[in-house]
């Protein structure tokens, strides 16, 4: 993915989430995570991603 | 905290009102062009027209150059334009060049970007200079051209009658009102353009909710000039803060107001000072400081659909409002003025048809839309317009330290030159034959070379060879231009078309060349062999290129440019 492509993908995701609204955002992101998991198709990579996503945010207030 | 304000290190001269000779309250002369608005864009338009020998009256409502914190970043492309207008020396002397910036998330640096800066470039990618200095330097240049540029201070337009065959302006001054007739009007009267509003023309696009407080301070600091962005900094949690160093010890701090903060309360000095103090503490700045100016800013991403309304041509903030994140506001306005000046000059001289002015609108509206999309990207990050953008930004910032592949999302996508790729003025017949070099619609790629000036030579750059004319860059072995090309050029000039052939040679000693490829990179950069010809507009954009000169094709391309 080029930088421009990443940018386009990121923006599309943000706009889609905006349209769904804040209440549906967690479900949307959960679905995206699942689709990403099966698309990546590598258990070690997916587990690493899970750990990376969780790292450093335990101290955040929820929401 | 009672911190007294200090003045800017600049005193604006106050100019008396000036009126022309009147008869019955009417300006005796009918003017070919009147520029409304003495800001950076108005001055660049006036200077551009003057460079083509067209007289201009410039009307400025105030009695001095601007006050306060407004445009502060001038891009490389703008410096190229200002060089052609003969005003760049002051900019380069006074401005602070910067080559990149850093972004921080809480306590970590998450991005360090550098803007394109390579050995081929003449100018730095960006310089910081306050708008009052920008205006003063351009005014100085305009005063040097007082043979053609007449600045009328304290002249405020109060009415406009915009007809198909000309325009009547009604102007108010402290010494009374008067009217004037003009063939053409350049509306460069800023974000709250009276001309745009009174003609009922509507800006379209998005206004963002997020507000930024803008504070200029004088600060004792040796820190270098680079753009600094702090996301969710400990000194101002939940906010975004931008810091820009300006000349004269002035620093600009922009910080985002949180949702629900009352803007009127937020800009009170007693609420601003503690935030600035805490930011400086976080940055490790311990030098003495004083506030100079406080204002509030709301990002807009708006443009008119058409910059031409009968004989009125809109430019700068009067035509479009771009978000500051990406620094394209003033810079795109200067680009507007550069695109407009040569076209309007050729129309005024009767050399080009008025359709050429429609191309101004088409090209610059397309440019605005492109700038808006970049500005929108930056704004979506700097002032997230929804919970989703806010959430995703938090995710990017949190992951950016460990995952560098995400950092490009933080990049503010700074200003870069626009290409008029779809322009009807381009003659793209031989595009496919070139494997490198600026394509039709693109600005010339800069390259150092040796400039030949009569008997002497000096180190210079390619863009210096472009003057207020249509240029044929002709690549040769030895500087010799074929007779047919020379006669073609003479025929153009006999028709009153400003045209120059600039012969470029591969090696030194070519007495007839204007420049030679001393870096050894120029020919390759342009995919040029002897005989290659690039046609360049007075604004430095390529509009055609051929592997071999052909008189009929050249004449046709230029005729097409002038009568599109």
Domains, chain B, ordered by start: 22-87+127-202+301-377 (3.50.50.60), 431-562 (3.40.30.120)
pLDDT (0 to 100) of residue B374: 78
Is the pLDDT confidence value at A59 over 80?
Answer: no
Chain B contacts of A13, Cβ < 8 Å?
A: 388, 392
* Distance of residue B209 Cα from the nearest chain A Cα, in angstroms: 15
Q: Check A17 against B408: CB less than 8 A apart.
A: no
pLDDT in tens, B77-97: 999 999 999 999 999 999 999
Mean pLDDT, residues B268-274: 95
Mean pLDDT, residues B301-329: 93
Is the pLDDT confidence value at B218 over 70?
Answer: yes
* Distance of residue B316 Cα from the nearest chain A Cα, in angstroms: 27
Residue of B nearest to A19 (CA): B388
Angle among Cα A53, A54, A58 to the nearest 5 degrees reads: 140
Is the pLDDT confidence value at A9 over 60?
Answer: yes
Residue of B nearest to A53 (CA): B399
What is the ipTM score, two decimals? 0.95
Mean pLDDT, residues B104-119: 84
Chain B contacts of A14, Cβ < 8 Å?
A: 380, 386, 388-389, 392
Chain B contacts of A18, Cβ < 8 Å?
A: 385-389
pLDDT (0 to 100) of residue B1: 55
pLDDT in tens, B317-365: 999 998 887 788 999 999 999 999 999 999 999 999 999 999 999 999 9
Residue of B nearest to A20 (CA): B388
- Give the position of tokens 């090696």: B507
pLDDT (0 to 100) of residue B283: 93
Rounded CA Rg of chain B: 25
* Distance of residue A7 Cα from the nearest chain B Cα, in angstroms: 6
Q: Which of residues 29-48 of A touch B (CB under 8 A)?
A: none
Mean pLDDT, residues A2-17: 92
Q: Which of B125-134, B378-387, B491-500 has the lowest mean pLDDT?
A: B378-387
pLDDT (0 to 100) of residue B412: 65
pLDDT (0 to 100) of residue B76: 92
- Report the C-alpha gap between B330 and B316 in whole angstroms: 7
Q: Residues 6 or more apart from B434 whose CB is under 8 A from it?
A: B527, B545, B547
Position A61 confidence tier, pLDDT thresholds 50, 70, 90: low
pLDDT in tens, B122-146: 999 889 999 999 999 999 999 999 9
Residue of B nearest to A9 (CA): B409
Q: Residues 6 or more apart from B513 whose CB is under 8 A from it?
A: B452, B476, B478, B479, B503, B504, B505
Residue of B nearest to A22 (CA): B387
pLDDT (0 to 100) of residue B3: 87
Q: Check B386 against A18: CB less than 8 A apart.
A: yes
Where are the domains positioned within chain A? 3-54
Q: Please, what is the average pLDDT of chain B?
A: 93
How many other CB atoms sit within 10 Å of the CB of residue B2?
6
pLDDT (0 to 100) of residue B119: 86
* Distance of residue A57 Cα from the nearest chain B Cα, in angstroms: 8
Residue B179 near residue B169, CB atoms below 8 Å: yes
CB nearest A6 (choices: B386, B388, B408):
B408
- Report the C-alpha gap between B411 and B326 in whole angstroms: 10
pLDDT in tens, B463-481: 999 999 999 999 999 899 9
Residue B322 near residue B305, CB atoms below 8 Å: no
Position A62 confidence tier, pLDDT thresholds 50, 70, 90: low
Q: Check B388 against A56: CB less than 8 A apart.
A: no
Q: Is A17 on the interface with B (CB under 8 A)?
A: yes
Residue of B nearest to A7 (CA): B409
pLDDT in tens, B147-168: 999 999 999 999 999 999 999 9
Local structure of B370: helix, strand or coil = helix
pLDDT in tens, B388-435: 999 999 999 999 989 989 988 987 666 677 899 999 999 988 999 999
CB nearest A56 (choices: B387, B389, B398):
B398
State the pTM of this model. Answer: 0.93
pLDDT (0 to 100) of residue B338: 98
Mutate which: B372, B388, B407, vs A, most A CBs within 10 A = B388
| B526 DSSP assignment | T
Q: Check A13 against B392: CB less than 8 A apart.
A: yes
């Amino acid at each position: 993915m080029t930088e421009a492509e990443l940018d386009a993908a990121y923006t599309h995701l943000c706009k889609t989430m905006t349209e769904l609204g804040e209440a549906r955002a967690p479900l949307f992101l959960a679905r995206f995570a699942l689709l990403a998991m099966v698309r990546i198709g590598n258990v070690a990579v997916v587990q690493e991603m899970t750990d990376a996503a969780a790292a450093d945010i335990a101290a955040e207030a929820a929401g | 905290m009672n911190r007294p304000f200090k003045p800017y290190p600049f005193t604006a001269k106050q100019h008396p009102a000036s009126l022309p000779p009147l008869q019955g309250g009417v300006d005796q002369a009918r003017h070919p062009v009147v520029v409304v608005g003495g800001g950076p864009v108005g001055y660049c338009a006036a200077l551009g027209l003057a460079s083509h020998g067209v007289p201009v009256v410039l009307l400025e409502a105030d009695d001095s150059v601007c006050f306060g914190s407004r445009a502060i970043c001038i891009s490389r492309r703008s410096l190229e334009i200002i060089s052609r207008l003969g005003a760049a020396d002051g900019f380069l002397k006074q401005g602070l060049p910067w080559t990149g910036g850093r972004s921080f998330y809480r306590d970590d640096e998450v991005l360090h970007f550098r803007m394109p800066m390579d050995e081929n470039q003449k100018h730095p990618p960006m310089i910081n200079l306050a708008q009052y200095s920008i205006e003063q330097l351009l005014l100085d240049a305009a005063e040097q051209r007082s043979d053609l540029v007449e600045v009328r201070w304290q002249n405020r337009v109060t009415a406009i009658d915009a007809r198909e065959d000309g325009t009547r302006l009604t102007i108010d001054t402290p010494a009374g009102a008067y009217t004037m007739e003009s063939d053409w009007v350049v509306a460069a009267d800023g974000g709250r353009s009276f001309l745009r509003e009174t003609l009922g023309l509507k800006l379209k696009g998005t206004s963002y909710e997020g507000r930024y407080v803008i504070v200029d301070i004088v600060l004792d600091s040796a820190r270098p000039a680079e753009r600094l962005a702090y996301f969710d900094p400990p000194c101002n949690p939940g906010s975004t803060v931008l810091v820009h160093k300006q000349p004269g010890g002035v620093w600009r701090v922009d910080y985002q107001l949180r949702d629900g903060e009352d803007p009127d309360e937020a800009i009170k000095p007693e609420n601003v000072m503690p935030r600035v103090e805490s930011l400086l503490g976080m940055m490790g700045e311990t030098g003495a400081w004083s506030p100079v100016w406080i204002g509030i800013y709301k990002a807009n991403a708006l443009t008119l659909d058409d910059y031409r309304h009968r004989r009125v041509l809109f430019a700068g903030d009067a035509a479009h409002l771009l978000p500051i994140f990406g620094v394209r506001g003033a810079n795109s306005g200067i680009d507007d003025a550069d695109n407009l000046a040569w076209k309007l000059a050729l129309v005024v001289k009767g050399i080009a048809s008025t359709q050429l002015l429609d191309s101004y609108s088409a090209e610059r509206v397309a440019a605005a839309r492109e700038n808006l999309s970049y500005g929108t990207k930056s704004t979506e990050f700097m002032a997230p317009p929804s919970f989703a953008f806010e959430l995703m930004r938090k995710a990017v910032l949190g992951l950016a330290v460990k995952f560098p592949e995400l950092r490009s999302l933080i990049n503010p996508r700074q200003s870069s030159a626009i290409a008029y790729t779809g322009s009807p003025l381009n003659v793209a017949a031989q595009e496919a034959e070139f494997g490198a070099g600026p394509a039709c619609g693109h600005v010339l790629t800069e390259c150092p070379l040796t400039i030949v000036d009569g008997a002497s030579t000096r180190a210079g750059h390619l863009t210096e060879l472009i003057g207020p004319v249509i240029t044929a860059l002709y690549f040769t072995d030895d500087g010799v231009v074929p007779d047919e090309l020379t006669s073609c050029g003479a025929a153009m000039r006999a028709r009153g078309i400003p045209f120059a052939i600039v012969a470029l040679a591969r090696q030194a000693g070519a007495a007839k060349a204007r420049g030679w490829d001393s870096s050894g990179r120029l020919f390759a950069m342009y995919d040029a062999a002897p005989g290659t010809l690039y046609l360049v507009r007075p604004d430095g954009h390529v509009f055609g290129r051929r592997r071999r000169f052909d008189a009929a094709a050249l004449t046709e391309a230029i005729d097409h440019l002038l009568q599109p």
